[in-house]
């Protein structure tokens, strides 16, 4: 399975919206729970990666609601509404469907 993110980087003004796309080369829908096993992580310089979205659209408790995940089939999106300075990071999607648990190549979000 290949996870392809786009763009590789984007620059967004403070308060504007950032959109990160992730495309999987095959479905990541688990039939047994009818969930897309697609996670999003935020990776800031000098910090460990942080899980922000799981099951493609479920936000982790404590994550600001300006972060949202959407998508179906093989196309998924992470949206950051009203970008804040603390959101500067590299964002990775990850499939937890195959035995490779592949990550996308990452999208660098800058202000």
Query: What is the pattern of x (binds another protein, CB under 8 A) and - over residues 26-45?
Result: -----------x-x-x----
54 makes contact with another protein (CB under 8 A): yes
Give, as one character, the DSSP assignment of residue 37.
-
For the beta carbon of residue 105, count every other beta carbon within 10 angstroms. 14
Measuring CA to CA, which residue among 44, 52, 45 is closest to residue 22?
52
Q: Are 50 and 43 in contact (CB under 8 A)?
A: yes
Q: How far is the CB of 95 from another protein (least distance, A)?
A: 10
Residue 103's nearest CA partner among 61, 40, 54 is 40
Q: Determine if 71 is a binding residue for another protein (CB under 8 A).
A: no
Q: Which is nearer to another protein, 17 or 30 (CB)?
A: 30
If one asks whether residue 17 binds another protein (CB under 8 A), the answer comes out as no
> Contact residues for another protein (CB under 8 A)?
37, 39, 41, 47-51, 54-55, 60, 92, 94, 96, 99-106
């Amino acid at each position: 399975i290949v996870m392809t993110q786009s763009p590789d980087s984007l620059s967004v003004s403070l308060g504007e919206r950032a959109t990160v796309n992730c495309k999987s080369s095959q479905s990541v829908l688990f039939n047994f729970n009818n969930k897309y096993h697609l996670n999003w992580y935020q990776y800031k310089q000098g910090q460990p990666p942080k899980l922000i979205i799981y099951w493609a659209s479920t936000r982790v408790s404590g994550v600001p609601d300006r972060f949202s995940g959407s998508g179906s089939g093989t196309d998924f999106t992470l949206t950051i509404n009203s970008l804040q300075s603390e959101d500067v990071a590299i964002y990775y999607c990850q499939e937890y469907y195959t035995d490779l648990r592949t990550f996308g190549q990452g999208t660098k979000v800058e202000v």
